[in-house]
Amino acid sequence: MAEILVAMSGGVDSSVAAALLVDRGHTVVGVTLKLWGGESDSGCCSVSDVDDARRVAQQLGIDHHVFNFGDEFDRFVVDPYVADHQSGRTPNPCIECNRHIKFDKLFRRADALGFDRIATGHHARISTDDHGIRRIARGADAAKDQSYVLHMLDQTQLARLSFPVGDLAKDDVRRLAGELGLRTANKPDSQDVCFIHSQGGRQVFLGDRIPLRAARVVDGDGREVGSVDSIELVTYGQRKGLDLGGDAERRYVVDIDHGGATVTVGHQEELLVDHQTIDDLAWSHEPLPGEFLVQCSAHGRPQPAALVVGGDEDQLRWLDPQRRVAPGQAVVLYRGDDVVGGGTAGRHRPNR
């Protein structure tokens, strides 16, 4: 049996993940990561979460520790989040937390302490083909699947990871937690970015760290039709908060000029593009030719595209036009249920 370090967030999924591993006879130690040192009410990184994880560990009869990775979290997650907004990108901090903290810093600490494996409560699976190649695969519960935010994991990491609840539906996870009497059985899922407080949201958080710039809103002919308080908070496809003066016509953000402090609105079809550039494309094993199903948000519907590699930039060519993806969002490539690669949406180029 293996010695496994289980990342316990204080939620029901990681609680059941630890319980399942204990039941299978492994030597299990729970660890909660203290990441955000500021105010939080999102149900993640709070004092109550640490307490919930500690109490569940006591119920399971396993040791529990708290690792403080606050400095690393600021450096690799919070600071880039702020910088991305300032430069006109729409970041995904949960992906960067996975990339730099949960599956890098935590792995290094596990190695130093002599653990064989790491486990988390993510709803994802690990598939292995006939050649021994491992890939992140979608979790059994499609509504809770988290493979998108784990696309960066490589072969070395996958060889030492476990996702014990990946084969379970969320209802079954809660049922098991209830049967075991775990205090987290009915705890709501965390939905929001852990360092953004619900009172004030992104505007207050960013406004405390960078100057927020007002911008004018124009239509396709350049006529000014509204305004926004903070261009740093605007993203493609946005419809609300544009101060369009009660205009009943539905209009969406179709272009953002950060340098010129101008947001352009138009009709929904103006968001459609035939290609998408990808920055920092990386493969889970090796580059693959052909077509893929491509997912561009955590719960978005995958769409088919062909990858064009080479030249000045990597591009996806959509089989049917799709809505423009905000720069900074993850673009993840699937074959069936398996993640085969992923990168970051780049700046939009005109259709051609």
Number of Cβ within a 10 Å radius of residue 352: 5
CA dist 3 and 117 (Å) reads 7
CB 182 within 8 A of CB 140: no
The DSSP H or E segment spanning 107 is helix 106-113
Q: Which two tokens stand for residue 80?
A: 């880039």
CA dist 294 and 306 (Å) reads 9
CB 10 within 8 A of CB 52: yes
Residue 98 DSSP class = I
Distances in Å between the Cα of 321 and the Cα atoms of 61, 292, 303, 308, 329 are 54, 15, 10, 16, 18
Active site residue 194: yes
Name the catalytic one among 44, 45, 94, 97: 97
Distances in Å between the Cα of 219 and the Cα atoms of 186, 228, 236, 259 are 48, 14, 14, 17
CA dist 253 and 218 (Å) reads 10
Coil vs helix vs strand at 118: strand
Q: Which two tokens stand for residue 123?
A: 């709803």
Instruction: Name the pairing type of β-strands 330-335 and 262-266.
Output: unpaired
Coil vs helix vs strand at 79: helix
CA dist 183 and 26 (Å) reads 22
- Tell me which residue of 259, 253, 249, 250 sits closest to 217, measured CA to CA: 253
Name the catalytic one among 45, 94, 194, 296: 194
Active site residue 296: no
Number of Cβ within a 10 Å radius of residue 350: 6
Coil vs helix vs strand at 4: strand
Instruction: Please identify every residue annotated as catalytic.
Output: 97, 194
